[in-house]
Structures are given as C-alpha cells and as structure tokens.
Structure 1
Amino acid sequence: MDPAVAGLAFVAIFLVELPDKTFLATLVLSTRYRPVLVWLGVGLAFALQTGIAVLLGKVASLLPTTAVQLLALTLFLIGAVVLFREGRSHHSAAEDGEEYAAKAGDVHGAKVVLASFLVLFAAEWGDLSQLLTLTMVAKYHDPVSVFVGALSALLVVSGLAVVLGSALLRWIPLHVLHYAGAAICLVLAGVTATEILT
C-alpha cells in the first residue's frame, strides 16, 4: 500500500463528500435514530460502494493510459463544475436531509442499520466520490491504497455528521465546503492535464 496514494484519495474524497448529500443524509438520520446504528449502516453502504468503484477502476486501468487520463480529466472537471454550482445554490441541510430521512421511515434496532444502508447506498450510486474513486484506481494502479483512502474519508465524513454535524454547519457555511471540493477537483484536473501534455 502506498501512503501517498491513500492520502490523496482520502483528501480528495473527504473534501468532495463533506458538503455532499452523504453528510446531510447521515446528519438527519442520526437525529432520528441511534447515531451509532446509523453510522454502521452508512459505513456498510460505503464499503460496498467503494469496493464496486475500485473493481470498475481496475477494469478501466486496462484501457490505454491516454484514455484513462482523459477520462480522469473529464471527471475532475465535471466534479468541479457540479460542486461549484451546488455551492452557489446554497442548499440548506434541513431541506436536503429531510428527503433521505423520510425514505427511512419509522424503524428501530437492526432495521436502522438496514434503512441507513439502503438510503445511503441509493443516494451514493454513481455519485462524484464513487466516480473519483474509480478514476484514481485507473490512474494510479493501486486499488488497495485508493480503497483504504476513499473508505476512510467516507467513514470520517459520516462520523463527523453523526457527532458534530449541526455544529460544523454553524461554523463553516455549506457553500464554502462546496467551493473547497471544487478547488480540489480543479487541482486534480490540472495535474492530470499536465501529465497528458508531458
């Protein structure tokens, strides 16, 4: 495992997911149900989603290097645009999160874990973090490092949502987090463009 690749995956996914619906959905679910059960369900969903992204990235790594780099560049630029637009729209935590909490219904115990798993698994399918994970595996050819970094970032983000969610949103406006994620995507796009040109 390469700590540098794992660290890069962690930072990129952390900054992309912190202002994302993942954080908001986990925050709202943890206000309705036992936070540790919500975090467990969310963590299981992330492990499966990240595993799928890593497997798809491994397949994509078989493509020619230039094709992988162009795909990575495109996804990073799309990610930057999406996050920038979300930052401008100033979505409120209550509005976004209520949708996900409503999907969970009234559940207890092991059903909270399952409901949290299903809500986050559905919400994250094809999400920017999953696409970035896929791209990083294809680009760096290190699925274990990317998996560890990406999953760690997702678990930390959901843990923050469970423990500090509403307080964090009072300190750092949501649109600032979106802009930080967009900036990271632009940096990654710039690095990839430089690799393509050299």
Structure 2
Amino acid sequence: MLSLSVIAVVFGVIFVAELPDKTALASLMLGTRYRASYVFAGVAAAFVVHVALAIAAGSLLTLLPHRWVQGVVGVLFLGGAAVLLFSKADDEEEIKPPADQSFVKVAGAGFMLILVAEFGDLTQIMTANLAARYSDPVSVALGAVLGLWAVAALGIFGGRLLMKRVPLSLITKVAAGVMVALAGFSLYEAAAG
C-alpha cells in the first residue's frame, strides 16, 4: 500500500537536492532549443530508469541489520550534504544537439544526457538510502520520480525565472540542511537501536 507521507518526504528531499544539480540546467538548455514536450519525455524516461536502479540498490540494503542500515544511511546523508556544500559548480557540459527536431531524436538526446549524467549521482544515492530507510520501495520510487520530474519540468518550462529569483546558493544550503537533519535522525536511530 502506498504511503502518502513517505511519498511526500521523498519528493521534498529529492526535489530540493536536485534543484542545484546540472540536470536542471541541462533540461533548461534543451528546453530552450527544442520542443519542451519532446525533451520532457526523454528526461522523464531516463529518471524512471535512474530511480529503478536506486530502488534496487536500496532494497538490497534492507537485508542488512536495521542498526547497520541506519548508520550507513546516516553517514551517506552526511556525505551528500558535504558534497552539496563544498562542491564547486561544474562548468556547463556541452550538449550536442540532435540533427533534426523529430520526437525520437530530441527525446533520445534528453534520455541519454540524463541517463549518463545522473548515473551514480547524489540523488540516485539518496533514493537508494531512502528506499533502505523506509522499506517501502513503491512509495519511495513514486516520490523520487515525481521529485525528479518536477525539477526537470521547472528546468524545461520555467527554470530561468526560478534561478533569477532564488539564488542557487540558498537552494544548495536548504538541500544540505535537509540532508543533515535526515542524517542526524538516521544516526540517532542507529545508536538507539
């Protein structure tokens, strides 16, 4: 059965963590060059694959003793917060535009860009952690996919406005703060047993 609270928590965590990521910028760039619906279709499909891999990894973590999982999850959340706070912004990656504007070419370019760029990314690791934490893979997957899709949609359809009004450094600090709070909660549960 789906848990709306798990979906909401996962959505919020993944949404905030993904906002300062290069994916929003890549989606924005593709969305300004090509038909937005085609770009979104490719990006959305890539995120489904990305989340499925993360859920599979997180589900394997649930086979370990609960205290160990909470400890590992807490440490990984702290590591994720450190990555957000201390990483320098990457230079914009060059995206080779498809030769034509067909659905297959544009969606395929978006799919491949996200699939490659997001593999092993912070949000994929966070999704695996959340799957292990909540032991509810369907709710975690749904929350993560919706969070990633929301960021992609913002990037494609309205990213320029968001970045003009909300500083990227603030978004990054909020995401790191949420991750530190989740880390503290997980480490507390690991210590308390």
Counterparts of 2:126 and 2:31, CA distance in 1: 26
Runs of 4+ in 1 over 6 A off after TM superposition: none
AA aligned to 1:121 is L
AA aligned to 1:63 is L
Question: What residue number does 1:28 align with?
Answer: 29
Answer 1 or 2: which has greater helix percent: 1
Per-residue CA deviations over 1:16-38 (Å, capped at 9, x if unaligned) read 00111111111111111111111
3-state SS in 2 of match to 1:122:
helix
Counterparts of 1:113 and 1:181, CA distance in 2: 29
AA aligned to 2:82 is V
Aligned with 2:187 (options 160, 183, 193): 193
Normalising by structure 1, we get a TM-score of 0.91
Counterparts of 2:176 and 2:98, CA distance in 1: 33
Question: What residue number does 2:137 align with?
Answer: 143
Superposition deviation, residue 107 in structure 1: 3.9
Q: How many residues align?
A: 190
Are positions 1:180 and 2:174 aligned together?
yes
Question: What residue number does 1:72 align with?
Answer: 73
The answer to which of 27-36 and 110-119 deviates more is 27-36
Superposition deviation, residue 74 in structure 1: 1.4
Superposition deviation, residue 196 in structure 1: 1.4
Q: Does the CA contact (< 8 Å) of 1:37 and 1:113 recur in 2?
A: yes
| 5+ long unaligned stretches in structure 1 | none
Please give the root-mean-square deviation of Cα atoms over the aligned residues, in Å. 1.4
Superposition deviation, residue 104 in structure 1: 4.2
Normalising by structure 2, we get a TM-score of 0.94
Question: What residue number does 2:156 align with?
Answer: 162
Are positions 1:55 and 2:56 aligned together?
yes
3-state SS in 1 of match to 2:64:
coil
